[in-house]
């Protein structure tokens, strides 16, 4: 498999995991250089390209992104032993057509005027890097622990781990 195919397949897996989890912890950098993390609902994933979110123009994250566009997104589903980290560059835009494409009824709670609401900003994170971990069930860990005890060699990786530059 070529590096391009591997990366494409890995990015498809990243998109699948993001869509399954749905909510990320978005980390930005504030004007004092401190990290600021909060949950955000993923609206769309374009594999290998971008992740879309809604936010309000008056949100503190908007000011932080105007200062520093670098972000980190963390996704986790502990019940399925799935974890994912994405880093990238965020951009903010007002695009009612894209907002209509992404719109769900629950968004009306925050933006009662719908996709044309003047308070609504689209936050797009261009994906630069991603890494995911999919761990097996507890039995696999116990087998690995037994093998390590017998051989004296620790397990290298249990489950699946991929880094996508």
Q: Domains along the chain? A: 3-164 (2.30.110.10)
Res 25: pLDDT: 98
Average pLDDT of the residues of the chain = 91
pLDDT tens readout for residues 107-160: 999 999 999 999 999 999 999 999 999 987 777 767 777 888 888 888 777 788
pLDDT tens readout for residues 130-139: 999 998 777 7
Res 7: pLDDT: 54
Res 5: pLDDT: 40
% pLDDT > 70, the chain: 94
Contacts of residues 65-72 at CB distance under 8 Å and 24 or more positions apart, as own/partner, are 65/28, 65/90, 65/92, 65/123, 66/92, 67/29, 67/30, 67/31, 68/28, 68/29, 70/28, 70/29, 71/26, 71/27, 71/28, 71/125, 72/26, 72/27
Rounded to two decimals, what is the model's pTM?
Answer: 0.87
């Amino acid at each position: 498999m070529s590096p391009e195919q591997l990366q494409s397949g890995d990015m498809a897996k990243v998109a699948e995991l993001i869509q399954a989890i749905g909510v990320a912890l978005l980390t930005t950098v504030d004007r004092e250089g401190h990290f600021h993390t909060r949950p955000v609902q993923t609206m769309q994933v374009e594999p290998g390209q971008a992740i879309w979110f809604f936010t309000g123009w008056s949100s503190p994250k908007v000011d932080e992104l105007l200062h520093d566009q670098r972000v980190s997104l963390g996704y986790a589903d502990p019940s399925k032993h799935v974890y994912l980290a994405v880093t990238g560059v965020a951009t903010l835009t007002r695009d009612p057509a894209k907002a209509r494409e992404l719109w769900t009824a629950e968004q009306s709670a925050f933006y009662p005027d719908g996709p044309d609401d003047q308070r609504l900003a689209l936050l797009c994170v261009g994906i630069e890097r991603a890494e995911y971990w999919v761990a097996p069930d507890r039995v696999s860990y116990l087998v690995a622990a037994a093998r390590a005890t017998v051989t004296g060699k620790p397990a290298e990786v249990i489950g699946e781990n991929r880094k996508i530059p």
